[in-house]
């Protein structure tokens, strides 16, 4: 595990963007796992900036988002589809046919989950999986539980996770869907490289538990300790309790 601490959130996002750019420089057709959430906003902004400076080319890249809120179609402005279009897809030269996001409005989520996993395997698996971390240690929407799901599935969201997602829902956490489709831990942990990004003091405690605590399904991110190619990028605040 490589842990890099940067002086600011901006510097952390820049380092994350450079890692993605380097991956695509080495392999222009790399398959990327992508997160949503506040942490990813500055990361996508830096990637867009690199793209405008012609320092990264997405023409052959393939992307798979990690999750989507249940019940929301791709055109719903609160969906992760819409988030990705707004912050990233429509600002870079990534052909739409090479981007993938789970359909939150799929009538049969099991079928959707199977379709998505076959698409990931068909693309050769994830070369680089970029992750944020939830305050409770969730990865994508793999919430703390007695046992974690390896496969892509329908997850029940913890109230704290719904609160953290409330902004797009007028600040009302009760309006945030209680369920989401998410890739399972198996998909994440099978990625060839993993880049975990965390910023801010609200993440300091969970970052310590995830990286230094016991490996437990109560802290899904703790399983990252077992990955053979994990890079963790933190700002000083998120690293504050690492010791």
The two counts, helices (H) then strands (E), for the chain are 7, 10
By CB under 6 A, what part of segment 113-132 binds ligand GLP? Answer: 132
**Kindly report the CA angle at 159 between 81 and 188, in degrees rounded to 5?**
50
Among 19, 36, 79, 99, binds ligand GLP (CB under 6 A): 36
Q: How many residues bind ligand GLP (CB under 6 A)?
A: 15
Pairing of strands 31-34, 128-131: parallel
Alpha helices in the chain (DSSP H): 9-26, 40-52, 80-87, 109-122, 159-164, 185-189, 204-212
Would you count residue 67 as binding ligand GLP (CB under 6 A)?
yes
Q: Which is nearer to ligand GLP, 19 or 39 (CB)?
A: 39
Would you count residue 191 as binding ligand GLP (CB under 6 A)?
no
Q: Which is nearer to ligand GLP, 58 or 141 (CB)?
A: 141
Would you count residue 37 as binding ligand GLP (CB under 6 A)?
yes
Would you count residue 161 as binding ligand GLP (CB under 6 A)?
yes
Among 64, 89, 141, 223, binds ligand GLP (CB under 6 A): 141
CA dihedral over 187, 121, 17, 141, signed as positive or negative: negative
Q: Active-site residue 149, yes or no?
A: no
Among 15, 66, 183, 230, binds ligand GLP (CB under 6 A): 66
The CA R_g of the chain, rounded to the nearest whole Å, is 17
């Amino acid at each position: 595990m490589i842990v890099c601490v940067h002086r600011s959130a901006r510097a952390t996002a820049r380092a994350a963007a450079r890692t993605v750019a380097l991956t695509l420089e080495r392999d222009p057709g790399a398959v990327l796992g992508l997160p949503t959430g506040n942490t990813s906003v500055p990361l996508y902004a830096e990637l867009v900036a690199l793209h405008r400076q012609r320092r990264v080319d997405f023409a052959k890249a393939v992307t798979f988002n990690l999750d989507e809120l249940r019940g929301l179609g791709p055109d719903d402005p609160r969906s992760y589809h819409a988030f990705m279009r707004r912050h990233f897809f429509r600002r870079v030269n990534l052909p739409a046919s090479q981007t993938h996001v789970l359909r939150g409005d799929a009538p049969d989520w099991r079928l959707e989950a199977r379709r998505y996993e076959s698409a990931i395997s068909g693309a050769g698996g994830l070369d680089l999986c970029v992750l944020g971390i939830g305050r409770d240690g969730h990865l994508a929407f793999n919430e703390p539980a007695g046992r974690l799901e390896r496969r892509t599935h329908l997850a029940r969201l913890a109230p704290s996770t719904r609160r953290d997602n409330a902004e797009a829902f007028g600040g009302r956490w009760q309006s945030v869907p209680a369920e989401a489709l998410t890739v399972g831990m198996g998909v994440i942990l099978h990625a060839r490289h993993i880049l975990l990004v965390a910023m801010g003091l609200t993440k300091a405690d969970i970052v310590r538990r995830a990286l230094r605590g016991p490996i437990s399904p109560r802290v899904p991110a703790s399983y990252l300790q077992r990955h053979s190619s994990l890079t963790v990028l933190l700002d000083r605040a998120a690293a504050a309790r690492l010791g």
